[in-house]
Structure 1
């Protein structure tokens, strides 16, 4: 990477810039993000944060997935890392080099950042062959000195890596969407930067190709060891790709953890509702002990093993659990056990979704069985306290 950091008309060297924000002791993360904020002005003149005071470290070789609904700020966050947006506050540092610091007036332009990016639209040059599209990053920055032989060796190596070396002389319009996505991936890998940003790269391909490409990207990442920041709104894609998931909610990182932790122990109710389907029962906390939270609800007392930090007796809360954790026709009595009637039961191929009425309350039950329940039939439902989490309203 070029070691000159742009400061408007002035410039300082990367070591000088880094001195303003020294790295802490210990392993150096691939990316260190501190207090980043990006504001946008609406048509009515009001300024709103797309990214609001975000602090995050991304480790070498990690896949961090930014997950959130459309408009939550995740793509803006990615563009700030790439240098396509200029943050209004905070510091972004990569491997000891300050890429942007609003306080110090530092902003490294995108072409000088040793970062590759894959766009949702692929951003392929239609008039260039596959070979020339992949070779393009090697014609800029410190790669400009490569010989023709070195460029060809790198390009063909990247194309072979993604399985499309035989398409080198084709143009983008002559290949499929899945093949175009592989071209974009090869172009990102050819620089060997070790840091790749993915902006919803699989949203334009069909489900079968998407599943295949997702597996290929993850396999290549593990084999090559590059660091990735991956943006998606698809929860299944996030869970399948990530070492850690950062759930973005209205410009704020609401929860950062492993996929398992985010899914089974969400930090708050908004995160829980965004990650998959959820059974919810409102109530009031009547007891908080180590490993046991009791909630008074319309269904009776619900016992839970985990809850949001800081819960207290008398607090209005929601007891939540996933549909696949609902047990059908288990114990006749005991904790979290209720009689009900089947409202609907539908087979969806990989699972059967049943909706059970517990008086005025509906609970979802998912099973891998392929025989739907009889509508109107009487059943008993239960859920283990270990599968229930209590979250503040």
Structure 2
């Protein structure tokens, strides 16, 4: 049973403290000032009995005509001082039934120093249980709560009103199957048609290849790390076929090449419709260098580089997506066999459509356009390409 204890001062009992004494008036004394000196407390506060005690001093001394006009050296009688005692009732209240209390009484010395335990003067007879109205009991409880030290109140509440902890069931945070991240493999056959121009730096002669066709196959593995981030790994091969130059004079030694490419990167969904990819890659690049005045040759050089792509799904439905992408390819320069192959940055753009086949497998069709500005210390070359791809996206 939870109980609280509170104390109410009910009765003040007069008790004699000491007999009459004589006081010699000093300069500036008045009857009220003398009363304050006699009743002075340690905390310096004015005693509420000061006016009544001053009247008693005047009544005990017939020689005092004016309480504010006393002569220095005058002797006056100081009557006895009554100290106050309080009878305190200790009330123990039942929290479950605020109308019923148990009470006991004792007398305490009011003059005890603040903060110390009261000095018990005498113990009164036990009181019978009394009935206190709920409003009075509640007000008394609140008053005690305000006067008790905060730490004691908190300790009492923690001790007596501790609420038992309830078991908490662990929530199942597993996502629905259709929302879980999945891994995919994308297989993309493609074809690319290019316009290829070459300029000899020494003779300033410009030549243009009639046609350049790339037929390629790329395989990309996508490993999901979470709902927004995936790791991408790509392998690709291309069959490159070039025609002869348009001028009918310049000849090209090798018109067929095999190219390889590999990349590793991350894909991140910035928003449900905005995607970002960053890759490091290496790829074979085709350079044309002069062998003689009217004879050029093709050279494949494997260059390290990087690729950044930003894609936006401007049409997004439950079954299909239409998106546009912009990308940039950077390839580092190098020197090989006495020829310096310069670095380059090649922009590209694409539009693609992705459709769900059965909720798992997807189809993708794309149209790509790219510009490659690359060269050596012997030649300059520019290539503009238009490509088409058809992809099959499978979970794995």
Question: What is the TM-score of this pair, normalised by structure 2?
Answer: 0.16
Higher strand share: 2
Task: Point out the structure with max Rg over C-alpha.
Answer: 2
Higher relative contact order (CA 8 A, sep 6+): 1
